[in-house]
Amino acid sequence: MSPAPEPTPARLRAIPSRLLAGAAVAADRLVGERLAAEGARKWHFAVLAALAEAGAASQAELSRRTGIYRSDMVAVLNELADTEYIRRDPDPGDRRRNVITLTPGGHRRLERLDALVTDAQRELLAPLTPGQRDELTRLLTVLTEYHRPSHPRPHDAK
């Protein structure tokens, strides 16, 4: 097959990792621009959404839910606490932990940011049909679930 005598190998284009990087940059810019209009970054949204979805949690737990590093989580929570969107109280049951709670103001904040993020998704996926959007979401979910920190390597050959 492909008796095509292409002298140029044409290897560069259509390299998945490159496409992924490009698409991610575009997506991050779309989301970033909109959130910046409200003085927020995507982490703020992620943390607020995680809290709204699964309830109060420790910082480490939030790290796992959102994928944000524990180190970076500190600054994000500081900002969210400064603006009264969350509360950070010591956990009486485990004095190492803080319990992060979403305030009513934080909940409204989430509603606003969610609208912006949703709108950004629409623009991001504009060139795709609804079916393609679902398929893309599915494929990306498989990829991100498969590639997790320290992944088992099941089929370690040889």
Among 34, 17, 19, 18, residue whose Cα is nearest residue 121: 34
Among 59, 109, 110, 113, binds DNA (CB under 7 A): 59
Among 62, 102, 116, 120, binds a second copy (CB under 8 A): 120
Alpha helices in the chain (DSSP H): 16-36, 42-54, 59-66, 70-82, 104-124, 130-146
Beta-bridged to residue 102, according to DSSP, are 86
Angle between helix axes 42-54 and 104-124 (nearest 10 degrees) is: 120
Q: How many residues bind DNA (CB under 7 A)?
A: 29
- Among the residue ranges 64-72, 73-81, 83-91, 93-101, the one whose residues contact a second copy (CB under 8 A): 64-72
Q: Which two tokens stand for residue 129?
A: 């049909």
Residues near a second copy (CB under 8 A) are: 8-12, 14-24, 26-28, 30-31, 42, 46, 49-50, 52-54, 65-67, 114, 117, 120-121, 124-128, 132-133, 135-137, 139-144, 146-147
Interface with DNA (CB under 7 A): 21, 25, 28-29, 32, 41-43, 58-61, 63, 67-74, 77, 88, 94-98, 149
